[in-house]
Amino acid sequence: MDVKNGLGVPQETLDAEVKSFFESAPPLQNRDDISGKLEEFVERNSAVSGNGRGRRVVCVTSGGTTVPLEQRCVRYIDNFSSGHRGAASTENFIKAGYAVIFLYRRGTYQPYCRSLPEDPLVECFEITDESNIQVRQSHAEAVKKAITEHHAAVAEGHLLKLPFTTIFEYLQMLQMIGVSMSRLGANAMFYLAAAVSDFYVPWKNMAEHKIQSASGPLDMRLVQVPKMLSVLRKDWAPLAFCISFKLETDAKILLEKADVALKKNKMHMVVANELSNRNEEVVVVTANEKISVRRDKTQVGDDVENHLIRLLVERHSAYLENPDDL
Ligand code: PAZ
């Protein structure tokens, strides 16, 4: 077997699986619209400024992908992720001077809106008389902060939000973003916090209509999703600084799995986290180090992402100075 890519599969097999995934995926409905927005965003942020470089741009992925079981989808398999990590990280990257492409699952946490109640429209606002609506005093601070900071990030061209639901949408959009950001060279970063399906039903094998329960037990074959992270590194954006995440529920295997992911996918860093304490602590795994990053419990409202993004920004700076050192 001619194994060339460290993934345990011949490169030709991986290429064929990737090709088959994209050829059989239902085409994105709004591909032209996404492509136009992406081009404009990357172009604007690649303009050279006083530092002799363009702005650094990071693609933050957030939330879980779904795997539809029927083409006219009624049922699907989901991946757990609230999107809190992605939303908090986006705010921190923008604060650090990055432009962010936020590729997120519809309905998950959004940057600058994390502290709003679950149903902000009915909880934050009240009707004072027939024609006037006002913000409730109890939520005034949070609403003001959300609106001002969000509007500023979008108006200044530092935040582009692109939603997905299915694994088909997610990977097609990630490919578009990868190819578009490749022109930024090492100024580009990928921060892949989304929980991405490992298995899927190829579109051509999928039932068109709702699967009927009268037909008895459901026997369905799921195919492995091709290892797209290695394709991102090798083909889509080879110079970008890439960070992926590894989530486990069993602490005993977490760091070993993160190490394997680092090597197999040729990531620059892998952030390892355990489901139960993911908001308290993560471990950043590199080729030579395992760095524990924790939330400061003594500071009200502190998030682990405040510390994590600071570390990643530093490492990205070092990578820009010396791309071969990592
Ligand atoms: O979205 P969230 O804040 O609830 O959780 C974040 C996370 C656990 C989904 C993320 O940190 C992560 O590990 N993503 C990758 C998951 C995976 O191994 O596929």
**What are phi and psi for residue 128, nearest 5 degrees?**
-85, -45
The reported pLDDT for the residue numbered 40 is 97
Query: What integer is the mean pLDDT of 135-148?
Result: 96
Range picked from 50-64, 118-132, 143-157 for highest mean pLDDT:
143-157
CB of 60 shorter than 6 A to ligand 1? no
The reported pLDDT for the residue numbered 6 is 62
Query: From the alpha carbon of 279, which atom of ligand 1 is closest?
Result: 3
ipTM above 0.85, yes or no: yes
**What are phi and psi for residue 69, nearest 5 degrees?**
-100, -15
The reported pLDDT for the residue numbered 325 is 66
Residue 109 DSSP class: -
What are the pLDDT digits (tens) for 255-283?
999 999 999 999 999 999 999 999 999 99
pTM (global) more than 0.90:
yes
Q: Which of 66, 80, 81, 196 to mutate to test the pocket of ligand 1 (most atoms within 8 A of CB)?
A: 81
Residue ranges of alpha helices (H) inside 47-166 are 84-95, 120-124, 140-155
Other CB atoms within 10 A of residue 110 CB: 18
| The pLDDT of residue 189 is above 60 | yes
What are the pLDDT digits (tens) for 201-241?
999 999 999 999 988 999 999 999 999 999 999 999 999 99
- Cα 106 from chain centroid? 12
- The domain made up of 11-325 has a fold known as Rossmann fold (3.40.50)
What are the pLDDT digits (tens) for 25-77?
999 999 999 999 999 999 999 987 767 789 999 999 999 999 999 999 999 99
Query: From the alpha carbon of 84, which atom of ligand 1 is closest?
Result: 3
| Mean pLDDT for all residues in the chain | 94
| The pLDDT of residue 4 is above 70 | no
pLDDT confidence tier of residue 190, bands split at 50, 70 and 90:
very high
CB of 11 shorter than 6 A to ligand 1? no
Distance (Å) from CA 186 to ligand 1 centroid:
25
CB of 105 shorter than 6 A to ligand 1? no
The closest residue, in CA terms, to atom 11 on ligand 1 is 193
Sign of CA dihedral 85, 82, 239, 44: negative
CB of 146 shorter than 6 A to ligand 1? no
Distance (Å) from CA 33 to ligand 1 centroid:
28
Q: Where are the domains of the chain?
A: 11-325
The reported pLDDT for the residue numbered 2 is 47
The reported pLDDT for the residue numbered 170 is 98
Distance (Å) from CA 49 to ligand 1 centroid:
34
pLDDT confidence tier of residue 129, bands split at 50, 70 and 90:
confident
| Separation of alpha carbons 242 and 174, rounded Å | 13
CB of 197 shorter than 6 A to ligand 1? no
The reported pLDDT for the residue numbered 7 is 67
| The pLDDT of residue 1 is above 60 | no
The reported pLDDT for the residue numbered 215 is 83
Distance (Å) from CA 45 to ligand 1 centroid:
28
What are the pLDDT digits (tens) for 285-304?
999 999 999 999 999 999 99
Distance (Å) from CA 217 to ligand 1 centroid:
32
CB of 195 shorter than 6 A to ligand 1? yes
CB of 81 shorter than 6 A to ligand 1? yes
Residues 6+ apart with CB under 8 A from 248: 254, 257, 272, 274, 275
